Structure 1
Amino acid sequence: MATSSRASAAHDLDPRAEAILKFWVGDSFLKAGLGAFPQDKTKLWFMSGPEVDEEIRAKFGGDLRKAAAGEMDSWRGYNGLAAVILQDQLARNFHRGTPEMYAYDERALALAEILQEDGSLAGTPIIHRFWLALPMMHCESLAGHELGIRFSKTLQKEAEALGPPPDEGLMDIINAEAKHAESHKACIEQWGRYPHRNKLLGRPNTPEEEQGFKDNAIPAW
C-alpha cells in the first residue's frame, strides 16, 4: 500500500474518529497491511453481548448524538469510515432491541456511498473498507443492495489478487459477506423491505408477509 494513500486517508484524523477505529479495528490500524485481519476483533464484531453494549454506550454515546445532528456528514477518509462504523455498527449495539437500532442507517448509507466513490480510502486495508459494504446490506433499498454487491465483488477480487496471501480470516469474511449480500438482496426483491423488522418498528405486516411468517419463508437476521 502506498504511504501517500494511507496518509491521505488519515489526514486531519479527528480524535473521536481515531477512538472509534481503534476500538473497532485495532490500535495499530494505521500501520496495518493491505491484507491484514485483526483476529482479536472477531468476537466484538459477531459475538458481542450486553457487556459490550454497555461499553459502547459509555464510550460512544456522545459521538452518536453528534452523528445524529449531522456533525459527521462531511467527514471523509478515515474520519468518514469511523462515522460509518459508528452509525451502522455501534448504533446497533447501543440501541439493541429498540427501533433506534436503525435510526442512523440512512446517514451511514449516504456516507458509505460517498466514501466508495470519492477514493478517500484508496489503498487502505481491505478489512477497513469492508465496513462500507454493510450499510448497503442493511438498507431496504434495492439500489443500495446492488451497489453493495458490486463493491463486495471489488473487495473479493482485490483480496484474491493479494500477494503474499492475506492474513487468515480475511477471505472468509469477505466471501461470507458477499454471500450474505446476495441473500439479503433476494429478501428485498421479494418483500420490498425486511419484514422481520416490522414488529420492532411498529409496521403492520402485509397479508403476504403474514403468510411468509407462517411458512417460515422470511429470514430473521
Structure 2
Amino acid sequence: MSAWFKQSDDFDAKIADRFGNLPQAARLGRLNHWLHSCEGTLAMILVLDQFPRNLFRDNSRAFAYDALALSHAEKAIEQQYDRQLHPLAASFVYLPFEHAEHLPTQNRSVALYEDLLKHAPPDLHPIFEQFVDYAHSHRQVIERFGRFPHRNTVLG
C-alpha cells in the first residue's frame, strides 16, 4: 500500500514501463470492457487516478484523468462494486473523491471513508483511521482554499 502514497522514482519508472500507455487507452475507451466487473472497474480507476500521478509527476497531466476516474468511481458505487471488494481495494475506489477540488465531493469522500472504517475488519482499523484522517485533511484544504494549492505550480 505505501508505494502508492510516497514519491519514488523507481516505482514511477515501473509504472511507466509496465502501464504507461494505459491512461490514454482508457480515455479513448479502449479499456471499457474492464468495466463489467468490480475488479476491472477498480483497475480502471487505478489507471485513471493513480497511474497519471506516477507517470506525470509535477505536470498538469497528472490530474488530466481525474474527472473520468471520478465518473467511474461514482458508477462503481452505484453498482455496489465497492462492497464486493476487500476494504483495502475499495479504498482505491474512493480516492477520486478525495482528489476532487470540489467541496461536496470532498464531503462524500469523508463519508465513504468513515463508512469503510465502520465495516473494516478490526485488525485493519488503524489503517482505515488514517484513511479517514487523510479524507478530513483533504476536505479542510478545499474548504480553506477551494483547491489544492500544491497544484498551483503545474495548473496555474
Please give the alpha-carbon distance, in whole angstroms, between the structure 2 residues aligned to 1:135 and 1:88.
Answer: 6
TM-score normalised by the chain length of structure 1: 0.64
Q: CA deviation at 1:48?
A: 4.6
Q: Which segment is superposed worse, 72-81 or 118-127?
A: 72-81
2:9 to 30, 38, 50: 50
The equivalent of 2:88 in structure 1 is 127
2:152 is equivalent to residue 198 of structure 1: yes
1:73 positional shift? 5.2
Q: Match of 2:21?
A: 62
Partners of 1:101 and 1:140 in 2: CA distance: 14
8 Å Cα contact 2:82-2:93 kept in structure 1: no
Q: Partners of 1:184 and 1:120 in 2: how far apart?
A: 24
TM-score between the two structures when normalised by the length of structure 2 = 0.89
CA-CA distance at 1:175 after TM superposition = 0.9
C-alpha distance in 2, partners of 1:109/1:70?
A: 15
In structure 2, stretches of 5+ residues that fail to align are none
Mapping of 1:160-179 within 5 angstroms?
A: 162=121, 165-166=122-123, 170-179=124-133
The alpha-carbon deviation at position 119 of structure 1 amounts to: 1.2
CA contact (8 A) 1:73 1:107 kept: no
- Identity among equivalent positions (%) equals 30
Tell me the distance in 2 between the aligned counterparts of 1:97 and 1:178. Answer: 26
Say if 1:72 and 1:80, in contact at 8 Å, map to a contact too: no
Kept after mapping to 1: 8 A contact 2:113/2:131? yes
* Whole-angstrom CA distance in 2 between matches of 1:186 and 1:47: 21
RMSD (Å) for aligned C-alpha atoms: 1.7
Match of 1:183 among 98, 120, 137: 137
Q: How many residues were matched structurally?
A: 154
Which residue of 2 is the match for residue 12 of structure 1?
none
The one of 118, 129, 145 equivalent to 1:157 is 118
Residues 87 and 107 of structure 1 are in contact (CA less than 8 Å); yes or no, is this contact kept in structure 2?
yes
Q: Distance in 2 between matches of 1:50 and 1:142?
A: 31
Corresponding residue number in structure 1 for 2:48 = 87
Structure 1, unmatched stretches of 5+, are: 1-40, 204-221
Q: Is the 8 A contact 1:87 1:105 kept in 2?
A: yes
Deviation at 1:141, TM superposition (A): 1.0
